[in-house]
Amino acid sequence: MDHFGPLIQVWKEMWVNNAWFLRLLPVVLIFICYYYSQFYIESYGGSGKSPQSTVSGCDSYRSQRKWKSLNFNMNKKAELFLKLNDFFWREHLSTQALPYGIKGSELLLLKVLAVIPSYTMPAYIESLNCRTCAVIGNSFSIKNTSLGEIINKYDVVIRKYHRLQSERFRSEEPVGRLNDAPVRGFEEDVGNKTTLRLFYPESASFNPGIHNDPDTLLVLVPFKQEDLRWLKEILYDEKRVQKGFWKPPPQIWLGRTSQIRVLDPYFLRLTASKLLEIPLQPSKHQKPIHPTTGILAVFIALNYCDVIHLAGFGYPDSRDQKQPIHYYGQDTMKSMKNSYHDLNQEAEVLKRLEKQGAIIYLHHS
């Protein structure tokens, strides 16, 4: 009531002189309505903006990050990509081959890294005291959510191409059917900002500019030597060799050299060994299991970002074989049969990370 004390006094004075009161009554009513509306807005956080910020504040988020108590033994490694000078230090020598190390691929990498930029992320992102990141998956759950405008507000938006594997192919090769995670035509739900786009040769489109920003970093995730060889042939305009791919990659690729990066296998290795506890060298009688690019993207965010929000993750009940699994296309759970991923294990890890406050799922309002 203290807010309305001056108005009550004016009201009393008006009653003393009825004539003046009647003349000023409309003005007084308008003033009261305006004053009350401003008081309401200030009290309840209005002013045309959402009461809760789309991106959580770093201080409160960091205080809730109890996920480090989980037994993942992850070390903060902000350098996401391989650089040419990495090969001049013995501690960078790898004892494992791709996809978990670079052993045997050093010469290919030297040629690739000699051409692409040696710096990592854009300077304006590197300089941020708090990096807010959105990791966007391809799940059907993001369809009709209208999250696009919110997703575009994050400092870093990570997207990836989805890979399905089938036992019809050799187990050492990343095999399956291409799903290209389109942006154009789906902007309302998935946004159109992309900072990092994880890809591999079989998923590369002829023109990456169709579904990415001009400044999007195109991050190669090398699963095998042929992936690096393909990129070297593109960069040096050499004769293309198609042997070793489950699907012919583009022979002409319009990816800009200045935007190309090669992900350090460190991240896939620790995603498998620490996050998912997958044996890196399974026995002859064990079916090989590899992380999905989705869980890899989450692990990258855990190592680089301060605030991590997810959207478009999760699969429907495996018993419903006709349920669509992507926000685009016609793939169903049936297409996930015999994949080289442990989807149940990945789902459990994501639940633990969510419970510990490491990640937060975006939901449409």
If you search the block for the tokens 């959580």, which residue do you land on? 56
Phi, psi of 193 (to 5 degrees): -90, 130
Question: Tell me: the pLDDT tens digits for 182-213?
Answer: 899 999 999 999 999 999 999 888 899 998 99
Residue 12 shares a structural domain with residue 80: no
Residue 31 shares a structural domain with residue 106: no
- Residue 22, Cβ neighbours under 10 Å: how many? 10
Question: Tell me: the pLDDT tens digits for 280-332?
Answer: 887 777 777 889 999 999 999 999 998 999 999 986 665 566 778 878 877 77
- Residue 50 counted as domain residue: no
Residue 149 shares a structural domain with residue 179: yes
- Residue 170, Cβ neighbours under 10 Å: how many? 9
CA–CA gap between residue 239 and residue 237 (Å, rounded):
7
| Biggest alpha carbon–alpha carbon distance for the chain | 100
For 30, counting Cβ atoms within 10 Å of its Cβ (0-12 exposed, 13-18 middle, 19+ buried), the class is exposed
Question: Tell me: the pLDDT tens digits for 34-71?
Answer: 444 333 323 322 322 222 344 445 766 655 555 566 66
Residue 190 shares a structural domain with residue 161: yes
Residue 92 shares a structural domain with residue 138: yes
H or E stretch at 163: strand 162-163
How many structural domains comprise the chain? Answer: 2
Question: Tell me: the pLDDT tens digits for 218-229?
Answer: 999 999 999 999
What interhelical angle do 18-44 and 5-16 show, nearest 10?
170
Residue 255 shares a structural domain with residue 310: yes
Domain, as residue range, for 86: 58-361
For 359, counting Cβ atoms within 10 Å of its Cβ (0-12 exposed, 13-18 middle, 19+ buried), the class is buried
Question: Tell me: the pLDDT tens digits for 9-18?
Answer: 544 555 455 5
